[in-house]
Amino acid sequence: MDSIDQQTRLICRERLDTTADVESYLEHTQTHLEALQAARRACYYRLRRCHDPEKMADIRSQRDKLTASIALCRRDIKTAQAVLVRSEKVKSDLAAERTMQKERFHPRKQRTQQREEAR
């Protein structure tokens, strides 16, 4: 239930209506994630070269903020991918349900037609 809750919140927060919207969101978020990772990598490089304790503390805090943002992006990507998988499963389930209903009600139509032909 928690995963469905997360998926619903993502869909509402980002106003995703179609699978195309979800795919577009995934692409955008993936690009954003790569930019955040590059920025965090730059922080690590600056930490190696920095010897001033005050600047090091600032860089570490910036790195930690980037790490938190990266974690959120990764979670949103995982959730959006789950939305796509779940939407496909729901589509197949609905198609199977429609098929079952047609098969269930179709014999009645045949019986009715047979009765009308017999008259």
Angle of helix 53-118 relative to helix 2-14, nearest 10 degrees? Answer: 100
What pLDDT does 74 receive?
Answer: 97
pTM for this prediction: 0.74
4-9 LR contacts (CB < 8 Å, sep 24+): 4/86, 6/75, 6/79, 6/82, 7/79, 7/82, 7/83, 7/86
What pLDDT does 73 receive?
Answer: 97
- Token pair, residue 26, equals 């995934």
Query: What pLDDT tens digit does each residue of the chain (119 aa) get?
Result: 688 899 989 999 999 988 899 999 999 999 999 999 999 999 999 999 999 999 999 999 999 999 999 999 999 999 999 999 988 887 787 778 888 877 777 666 666 666 666 66
First-to-last alpha carbon distance for the chain, in angstroms, is 56
